[in-house]
């Protein structure tokens, strides 16, 4: 087999995606997604082999090493197929369509995704990972390729019929049938019953392994607890968040969460770290902290943010996409330990204590090594070894810092340093909310810097967003979730800082989102814009997956902007959007957590809180910190400077600020419901004015 370094580069060498560049020296004659590949397929009458993955995907790397680096397999691919490689993070539109095809064909999906298409892009067969030879009940990839070629040659009509039927199915599946039912609290009650049924009481979470965090469902449960006064809703959240934060899915040294757990106990993660998971989980832990005041939830959120600032932030301010599961070709190698390694760093005595708390043994808990985890909460561990819990926490903090310093000398996992608008929007929202809740301005500063980066480097002169940035290039028309997530992030950034430019920009982007994506006939939003590249179908994103659906986030952002600006047209659009996916809320509420969060907001009596700064800037910050220290899921906050000119400018966009004078030179707070306000108060009476939602 020829070594990669000895081969000429293929067409992927001109791309910026780290995932595509990982394949630039494969012997496969890869094309990036585009008309050139389809034109050649039509000209040569060959099917297309479409391979979709992402840079942090462990099994994508495995299939590359086993098959795409295999000269014999590459010869079959190059002779009989036009081969197209796609980074799902750059082209979620392509990924969505063909993942739906794979799920329709096989009942499940995943990455790497392997799909065979007609020269017109219609799928007719596919799967996920294939080994190079028959193994573990799976056909070998060489045999798959030969079989598909034979079928294309000898049974073409059957394949074309299959492609037509599957494409018709995808067109129908990409739309949610209309539902005329009411948008009422019965949908929330139904969702609670379904979540209770799916809840796993022993280790928390929902369903069985592989176990994903489900942050949208957890945030919904916090709201259902507030709405119903239901203690079990809160218990499900606390139990799950506690188990996850003590499990191996959480990085106890560096902070942040891996993508999912391969077992029910949250012990063995799939070690890749994704920006979106950490943004959504940070928001979840922040809200749980606001509600419960449990300092461990604040601690976890802080470590997520610190991990993001330390390892996942571009010098210009954008947040990077992912960190790989593998280092030195081995999954998890960077993260795991042996007892001897722990002793070498900490010394025998401290290592013994650390090992008891973090489950470090001679035999290990995973392939002869140890994934750090905490079988018991720290207070129980302290009691078991007769230690004061605060003293033990302080010692363990020092131990973790020493181990982290040693770990950072290892060869780290690969990092995908592209900046994605949609995922950045989620982290901007998390840091905007978390900055005041955790009393740390670094997070607010980072959120502002990221927002400025996106709006400066990833927005065209026409005001439209681009999806991905890497190596100085912004590429690809933005998708629905790029707009919706960033609009929500900018809105929350305004609420945290009082800088009116952020809400003004959120409204500008809202106008673009409506013009490009809104379905005036049936309500809701398409995933791609009106002038996006034509694919085999134009879908609507209605179901939450690892990230909230585009329609759910559009409704969330519109509802919050409507409450903040008093714009009834935005409120109506939010309601129409939820109405358009109502059937999902009714039939599959566990796939609609974010839509249900938006519905909960729309059904609530929202609080509007106007905060007019006094002469003391520190007083304004303290007011915002006090507000954000509480769980107020139905409140919007409109801060403004005391300067009459600035306040008048802000009031043009946020009418809640009109005629709200500062009193006695002090920061003055107006607490309103549906734009009917109480008497203004100062900081000393803020708590009583906020009351309970």
How far is 224 from 559, CA to CA, in rounded Å? 18
Say if CB 447 and CB 435 are below 8 A apart: yes
Residue 457 lies in a domain: yes
Amino acid 5: pLDDT = 58
Instruction: Work out whether the CA dihedral 55, 57, 58, 62 comes out positive or negative.
Output: negative
287 and 342 assigned to the same domain: no
309 and 196 assigned to the same domain: yes
Query: Does pLDDT of 507 surpass 50?
Result: yes
Q: How confident is the model at residue 520 (pLDDT cuts 50, 70, 90)?
A: very high
Residue 29 lies in a domain: yes
Residue with tokens 């019929």: 161
Residues 6+ positions from 71 with CB-CB distance below 8 Å: 1, 2, 27
pLDDT (tens digit per residue) in 296-316 = 999 999 999 999 999 999 999
Could you say which of 407, 439, 465 is where a domain stops? Answer: 407
Average pLDDT, integer, range 92-113: 92
Query: Does pLDDT of 3 surpass 70?
Result: no
Query: Does pLDDT of 605 surpass 90?
Result: no
Burial (CB < 10 A; 0-12, 13-18, 19+), residue 504, is: middle
Amino acid 107: pLDDT = 82
593 and 614 assigned to the same domain: no
Query: Does pLDDT of 673 surpass 90?
Result: no
Q: Which of 654, 655, 681, 651 has the alpha carbon at shortest distance from 668?
A: 681
Q: Which CATH number characterizes residue 478's domain?
A: 1.50.10.10
Amino acid 108: pLDDT = 83
The torsion defined by the Cα of 246, 249, 250 and 253, in degrees rounded to 10, comes to: 100
pLDDT (tens digit per residue) in 29-68 = 999 999 999 999 999 999 999 999 999 888 899 999 999 9
461 and 590 assigned to the same domain: yes
3-state secondary structure 141-166: HHHHHHHHHHHHHHCHHHHHHHHHHH
Q: In Å, how far are 120, 310, 457, 536 from 38, measured between CA atoms?
A: 7, 42, 31, 13
Q: Which of 372, 617, 674, 335 has the alpha carbon at shortest distance from 498?
A: 617
Amino acid 206: pLDDT = 97
pLDDT (tens digit per residue) in 373-397 = 999 999 999 999 999 999 999 999 9
pLDDT (tens digit per residue) in 620-640 = 999 999 999 999 999 999 999
Q: How confident is the model at residue 2 (pLDDT cuts 50, 70, 90)?
A: very low
CB count in 10 Å sphere of residue 291: 20
- Cut 0.85: pTM above it: yes
401 and 440 assigned to the same domain: no
pLDDT (tens digit per residue) in 223-265 = 999 988 889 999 999 999 999 999 999 999 999 999 999 999 9
Q: Which CATH number characterizes residue 78's domain?
A: 3.40.30.10
Residue 179 lies in a domain: no
Amino acid 4: pLDDT = 58
Strand, coil or helix: 2: coil
Per the structure, the complete domain to which residue 30 belongs is given by 4-173
256 and 289 assigned to the same domain: yes
Say if CB 257 and CB 304 are below 8 A apart: yes
479 and 521 assigned to the same domain: yes
What does residue 396 show for φ and ψ, rounded to 5 degrees?
A: -65, -35
CB count in 10 Å sphere of residue 239: 17
Which H/E stretch holds residue 580?
Answer: helix 568-580
What does residue 663 show for φ and ψ, rounded to 5 degrees?
A: -110, 135
Average pLDDT, integer, range 360-369: 96
Amino acid 211: pLDDT = 96
What does residue 529 show for φ and ψ, rounded to 5 degrees?
A: -75, 170
Query: Does pLDDT of 642 surpass 90?
Result: no
611 and 599 assigned to the same domain: no
419 and 526 assigned to the same domain: yes
Strand, coil or helix: 692: coil
Average pLDDT, integer, range 497-501: 94
Residue 178 lies in a domain: no
Could you say which of 575, 603, 631 is where a domain stops? Answer: 603
């Amino acid at each position: 087999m020829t070594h990669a370094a000895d081969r000429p580069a293929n067409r992927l060498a001109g791309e910026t995606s780290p995932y595509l560049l990982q394949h630039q020296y494969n012997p496969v004659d890869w094309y990036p997604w585009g008309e050139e590949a389809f034109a050649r397929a039509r000209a040569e009458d060959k099917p297309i082999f479409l391979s979709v993955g992402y840079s942090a995907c462990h099994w994508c790397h495995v299939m590359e090493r086993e098959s795409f680096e295999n000269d014999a397999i590459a010869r079959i691919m190059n002779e009989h197929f036009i081969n197209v490689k796609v980074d799902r993070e750059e082209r979620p539109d392509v990924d969505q369509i063909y993942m739906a095809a794979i799920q329709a064909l096989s009942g499940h999906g995943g990455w790497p995704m392997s799909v065979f298409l007609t020269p017109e892009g219609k799928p007719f067969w596919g799967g996920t990972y294939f080994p190079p030879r028959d193994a573990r009940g799976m056909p070998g990839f060489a045999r798959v390729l030969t079989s598909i070629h034979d079928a294309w040659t000898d049974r073409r009509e059957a394949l074309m019929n299959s492609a037509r039927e599957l494409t018709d199915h995808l067109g129908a599946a990409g739309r949610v049938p209309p539902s005329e039912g009411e948008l009422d609290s019965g949908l929330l009650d139904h969702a609670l019953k379904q979540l209770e049924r799916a809840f796993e009481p022993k280790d928390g979470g929902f369903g069985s392994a592989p176990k994903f965090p489900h942050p949208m469902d957890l945030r919904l449960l916090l709201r259902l607890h507030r709405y119903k006064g239901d203690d079990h809703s809160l218990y499900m959240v606390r139990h799950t968040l506690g188990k996850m934060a003590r499990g191996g899915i959480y990085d106890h040294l560096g902070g942040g969460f891996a993508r999912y757990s391969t077992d029910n106990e949250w012990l063995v993660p799939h070690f890749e770290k994704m920006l979106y998971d950490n943004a959504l989980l940070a928001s979840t832990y922040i809200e749980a902290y606001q509600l419960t005041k449990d300092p461990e939830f604040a601690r976890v959120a802080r470590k997520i943010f610190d991990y993001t600032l330390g390892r996942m932030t571009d010098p210009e301010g954008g947040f990077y996409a992912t960190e790989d599961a593998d280092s030195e070709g081995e999954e998890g190698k960077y993260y795991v330990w042996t007892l001897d390694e722990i002793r070498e760093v900490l010394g025998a005595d401290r290592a013994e204590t650390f090992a008891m708390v973090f489950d470090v043994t001679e035999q290990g808990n995973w392939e002869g090594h140890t994934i750090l985890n905490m079988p018991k909460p720290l207070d129980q561990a302290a009691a078991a070894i007769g230690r004061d819990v605060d003293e033990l926490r302080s010692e363990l903090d020092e131990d973790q810092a020493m181990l982290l310093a040693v770990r950072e000398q290892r060869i780290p996992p690969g990092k995908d340093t592209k900046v994605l608008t949609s995922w950045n929007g989620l982290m901007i929202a998390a840091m905007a909310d978390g900055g005041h809740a955790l009393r740390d301005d670094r997070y607010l500063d980072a959120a502002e810097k990221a927002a400025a980066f996106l709006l400066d480097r990833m927005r065209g002169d026409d005001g439209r967003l681009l999806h991905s940035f890497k190596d100085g290039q912004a590429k690809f028309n933005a998708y629905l979730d790029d707009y919706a997530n960033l609009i929500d992030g900018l809105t929350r950034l305004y609420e945290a800082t009082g800088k009116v430019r952020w809400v003004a920009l959120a409204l500008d982007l809202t106008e673009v989102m409506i013009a490009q994506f809104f379905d005036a006939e049936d309500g809701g939003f398409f995933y791609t814009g009106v002038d996006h590249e034509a694919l085999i179908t134009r879908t609507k994103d209605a179901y939450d997956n690892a990230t909230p659906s585009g329609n759910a986030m559009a409704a969330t952002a519109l509802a919050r902007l409507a409450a903040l600006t008093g714009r009834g047209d935005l409120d109506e659009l939010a309601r129409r959007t939820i109405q358009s996916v109502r059937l999902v809320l009714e039939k599959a509420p566990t796939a609609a957590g974010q839509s249900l969060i938006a519905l909960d907001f729309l059904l609530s009596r929202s609080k509007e809180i106007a905060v007019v700064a006094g002469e003391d800037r520190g007083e304004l910050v303290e007011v915002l910190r006090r507000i954000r220290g509480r769980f107020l899921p139905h409140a919007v906050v409109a801060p403004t400077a005391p300067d009459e000119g600035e306040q008048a400018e802000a009031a043009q966009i946020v009418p809640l600020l009109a005629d709200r004078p500062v009193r006695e030179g002090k920061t003055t707070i107006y607490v309103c419901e549906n734009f009917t306000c109480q008497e203004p108060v100062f900081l000393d009476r803020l708590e009583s004015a906020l009351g309970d939602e």
